Amino acid sequence: MTTTRRFFITGAGDFATVISVLQSRVGLSLVSDEKLERHWLDTNGQLLQQQSMLLEYARPEQNDAAAALRWSDAQRSIATNDFVSRQEPAVGSDLPEDAAWDRLRTLLGNESLTISLSTVTRRASFRHLNEDEKTTVRVVVDESSLQNGSALPVRLEITELRGYGDEADEVERKVHQHVALRPTSQTAFDTAQEFATAKHIEPLGYRVLSANDAETKSAAEGWHLVLRALGGAIFDEVKGIEARDVEALHRFRVAVRRMRTILQDGNDVIDKSARKQFRSEFQWLGEISTPARDADVLYELVQTSVLASEPVVDQVHSWRENQWDAFLLETRLERWKSLQKGWDDFLTDSKLWRSDIPDDARKPLRKVASKRILSSYERLCAEGSSITKKSPAEDLHELRKTAKRLRYLLESFGPLFPDDEVEAISKPLRRLQKVLGEFQDADIQAEQLLQLAGAAAIPLAEEAKNRCAQARREFPDAFAKIEKRSVRRAVKSLPGKGRKP
Amino acid sequence: MKTLATYNIKGGVGKTATAVNLAYVAASRGDRVLVWDLDPQGAATFYFRVKQKVKGGGKALVKGSGELADAIKATDFDNLDVVPSDFSYRHFDLWLDDAKKPLARIRRALKEIEDDYDWVFLDCAPSISLTSESVFRAADALIVPTIPTTLSFRTYEQLDRFIDDNPDMVRQIDVFGFFSMVDKHRRLHRKFMSDFRIDHPEILESIIPNSSDIERMGLERQPVGVYGRNSRSAKAYEQLWLEILRRMR
């Protein structure tokens, strides 16, 4: 008899890194790592689902490998068979001959089985063994996507075998130390079903505009739409943040930065005093969340790096917990609550959104948006050109912010313009951001590591410094690509080029 | 929940192998199964790779101050758990002797987990003692492996007589004797079996062969069906289980 603790992985690197960490850091033995097509089967009338049962059929990617069939209810696995045909069973008589399956055959009667849900899955199974080589805990990591390509959250399940609760607690503690997790009660089927039936939600609202809006909407209307979507994206993450979800915090911060950019570039479009007030409030959100995010990034680095010793990992872990505690304390302040309320009031206050008040508010959206993109681009070129080999790191950090500003404008207002032009600007911009991001992260990490763990962190800090130096060497080339004539031409063409609806 | 005890007064007849393998077969069929290793030697516990130690001590279970549910350990197989043996079980008779209503002790301990399992296998130590009597009271059936030798038959008949002579102590109980560790190439085994069936027609048809597959359990520390899925021995245990199911009251 077993109980399963279910989690979504919210941060730990890619699948291969997770596998490696679970083996090397948590001490689990890898049993299998396979790619498979997974189908949940049921009758047309969903006879099994009505009885809280699942019939899971998994066909490995390898052509010669047998498929597996598992029949379970909410409490336990009723029957499994790892050697079934690669053709999924369609009727009761296709089930294994084994007596274990007779009950299901009886239950199904003459009903046929059909595929109710499918995923493409990579699944790694582990077990924790004691000194007698007895399995005490089972762990499964599952990375799946629906057949339409929608990726599902990566899952990690810790199955505690009866009588081995202490061992499961220990495994869970160690996994938590190296992999960021968010608890969930959903089974793999529940998650897949939720994603299969949920409406597709546009990420962070930066695609709320469409080509039609270029001419039909005023700048005020366009800004209002984008701000509303970004506000939703920010406040939607609050629950995840309260559960210390690393990815929720990351999405929250990206949305906050986008918000700040759209507010910043909303001069003469948005009400002046409201713009000033909310720029300051969202800046505050960015500031209070920065230490926790920096800690998450550093923690992810140390937990997946072979250069990090256990004391360094522990040191960074406890530092990260402190940063999160401090951040969560801020979220309980009245200021946080009033911001949310004030923001809703701002969006719904028609007096503040009269398009005849600020200068640019009533102008066509395309015209105003393209002007803001152009000026952001020119600022980036000017700041970047002044950077030399001797410029301090702060200058590159500032340039990174300017590059982000341009990127967020393009993401928010890009749908108004032709894809080719937007991509001509976005491609070199992404490369530049990558180089600047690597430079800043490594620069900060080297310093933080030495401060936190002293001599024990020297190898890691050295490695971070090397990454920093490498990024600096790559900067001139990355920046030259942004300044190219073709990119400049694309930016300058935006005001005159509406995208064909 | 039905309780089955693998029992024989004589040792070395394959009681533990029977309990472990039948339990595995039943669990593979989707039933929820518990093996309670009552033998201080702890062979069933060893086969399942579980440590020979009862949480809270074996005595507490007998005295009623400890809960059986807390002592249960999962095996590596779905639907199959074990209550491990404890070396202190060598004092089982003494504990029972000290307890009130000693014959009801095992039955009472099992009562608390009756909703958790479909089958419980009690793997008993060889002997006839207060512990055995408590097992007889708790079990719905005794599964009695019997080697086709004179001494084995003698002990089978001793058991048979004991049950007949003690109708008050042993409540209504099925006795499923079967031939174990049979070498069909040996004329003597064949002769003993046919003679014995004349006197005891109730003995089961299924036969467990004397096989190296079963001996390997000690090395593999797993039921035969795990490492010898299609072996003659694994099939024999499946047949035995099906026959027991048919014969159960």
Tens-place pLDDT, residues B139-175: 999 999 999 998 888 889 888 888 888 877 666 788 9
Contact B19, B44 (CB under 8 A): yes
Residue of A1, A137, A161 to mutate when probing chain B, most B C-beta within 10 A: A1
- Do A202 and A32 meet the contact criterion of CB atoms below 8 Å apart? no
Tens digits of residue pLDDT in B59-115: 777 776 668 888 899 999 989 999 999 887 777 777 777 777 777 788 888 988 888
User: What was the pLDDT predicted at A32?
Assistant: 92
Please give the average per-residue pLDDT across A105-132, as a whole number.
92
- For residue A13, is pLDDT > 70? no
CA distance A95 to chain B (A): 13
- Judged by CB atoms closer than 8 Å, whether chains meet at B74 and A2 is answered as yes
Q: Where residue B242 falls among pLDDT bands split at 50, 70, 90? A: very high
Residue A29 · residue A22 · CB < 8 Å? no
The answer to whether A161 contacts B50, with C-beta atoms less than 8 Å apart, is no
CB contact under 8 A, A164 and B74: yes
pLDDT above 90: percentage of residues in chain B: 49
What pLDDT, on the 0 to 100 scale, is given for residue A95? 92
For B76, the closest of A98, A103, A134 (CB atoms) is A134
Over its C-alpha atoms, chain A yields an Rg (Å, rounded) of 27
Please give the angle made by the CA atoms of A405, A406 and A408, to the nearest 5 degrees: 65
DSSP assignment letter at A64: T
A314-360 pLDDT tens trace: 888 888 999 999 998 888 888 888 888 888 888 887 777 765 666 88
Share of chain A above pLDDT 70, in %: 94
- Which residues touch A257 (CB under 8 Å, ≥6 apart)? A286, A404, A408
Instruction: Answer whether residue A103 shows pLDDT above 70.
Output: yes
What mean pLDDT is predicted for residues A2-31?
85
Residue-level pLDDT at A501: 45
**Residue A173 pLDDT > 50, yes or no?**
yes
- State yes or no: pLDDT of B46 exceeds 90: yes
10 Å CB burial of residue B45 (0-12, 13-18, 19+) is buried
**Res B244 pLDDT > 80:** yes
Query: Are the beta carbons of B78 and A76 separated by less than 8 Å?
Result: yes
Q: Say yes or no for a CB contact (<8 Å) between B30 and A78.
A: yes
To test the contact with chain B by mutation, choose from A162, A164, A166, A167 the residue with the greatest count of B C-beta atoms within 10 A, namely: A162
- Judge: B74–A162 Cβ closer than 8 Å, yes or no: yes
Q: Nearest-CA residue of chain B relative to A137? A: B76
Determine how many CB atoms are found less than 10 A away from the CB of residue A325: 11
B79: nearest CA in chain A? A1
When pLDDT is averaged across residues B17-24 and rounded to a whole number, the result is 97
Cα dihedral A427→A429→A430→A433 (10° resolution): 170
Measured between beta carbons, which residues in chain B are less than 8 angstroms from residue A99? 29, 242
**Taking 90 as the threshold, does the pLDDT of residue A420 lie above it?**
no
pLDDT of residue B171: 65
A160 vs A460, higher pLDDT = A160
User: B81 and A162: CB-CB below 8 Å?
Assistant: yes
Between A445 and A453, whose confidence is greater? A445
The answer for residues whose C-beta is within 8 angstroms of residue A230's C-beta and 6 or more apart is: A204, A205, A206, A255, A258, A259, A262
Among A196-205, A260-269, A294-303, A383-392, where is mean pLDDT lowest? A196-205
Q: Do A134 and B48 touch (CB under 8 A)?
A: yes
Taking the alpha carbons at both ends of chain B, their separation in whole angstroms is: 13
Flag whether pLDDT at B34 surpasses 90.
yes
Cα of A76 to nearest chain B Cα, Å? 8
Cβ-based contacts of A135 with chain B (< 8 Å): 76
With an 8 Å Cβ cutoff, are B49 and A132 in contact?
yes
Closest C-alpha to B147, from B208, B223, B216: B208
Sort out which chain A residues have CB atoms less than 8 A from B221's CB and list them: 132-133
Give the gap in angstroms from C-alpha A260 to the nearest C-alpha of chain B.
54
Contact A132 B116 (CB under 8 A): no
pLDDT band for position B249 (50/70/90)?
Answer: low
Instruction: Quote ipTM for the complex.
Output: 0.81
Q: Tell if the CB–CB gap between B50 and A132 is shorter than 8 Å.
A: yes
Q: What is the mean pLDDT of residues B202-229?
A: 93
Supply the DSSP string of A307-339, one letter for each residue.
T--HHHHHHHHHHHHHHHHHHHHHHTSHHHHHH
Q: Which residue of B has its CA nearest to A80?
A: B28
Distance from CA of B117 to the nearest CA of A (A): 10
Alpha helix (H) residue ranges in B38-149: 43-47, 58-63, 68-71, 92-98, 105-111, 130-138
Q: Indicate whether A215 pLDDT > 80.
A: no
Which residues on adjacent β-strands are paired with residue A364?
A218
Contact A103 B50 (CB under 8 A): no
For tokens 């400890």, name the residue.
B66
pLDDT on residue A356:
62
pLDDT the model gives residue A398: 93
- What global pTM score does this model have? 0.60
Alpha carbon of A320 to those of A180, A296, A312, A326, A456: distances in Å? 12, 7, 12, 10, 18
Q: Please indicate whether, in this complex, the C-beta atoms of B28 and A100 are within 8 angstroms of each other.
A: yes
A·B CB contacts under 8 A: 54
CB contact under 8 A, A77 and B74: no
H or E stretch at B146: strand B141-146
Closest alpha carbon to B214 in B238, B190, B239, B231: B231
Largest pairwise CA distance in chain A: 79
Which pLDDT score, from 0 to 100, does residue A443 have? 87
Tell me whether residues B51 and A1 touch, CB distance under 8 A: no
First-to-final CA distance of chain A: 59
Measured between CA atoms, the residue of chain A closest to residue B50 is A134
Do residue B74 and residue A161 have CB atoms under 8 angstroms apart? yes
Chain B interface with A: residues with Cβ < 8 Å: 28-30, 32, 48-51, 55, 71-74, 76, 78-79, 81, 116, 221, 242
Closest residue of B to A134, CA-based?
Answer: B49
A302 confidence band (pLDDT: 50, 70, 90): confident
List chain B residues with CB under 8 Å of A128: none
Compute the mean pLDDT over every residue in chain A, rounded to the nearest whole number.
86
DSSP annotation of A389 reads T
Q: Which residues of B touch A162 (CB under 8 A)?
A: 72-74, 81
Q: What percent of chain A has pLDDT over 90?
A: 40
A133/A139 Cα distance (integer angstroms): 16
| A77 contacts in chain B (CB < 8 Å) | 78-79
Question: What dihedral do alpha carbons A95, A99, A101, A103 form, nearest 10°?
Answer: 130
Which pLDDT score, from 0 to 100, does residue A200 have?
A: 35
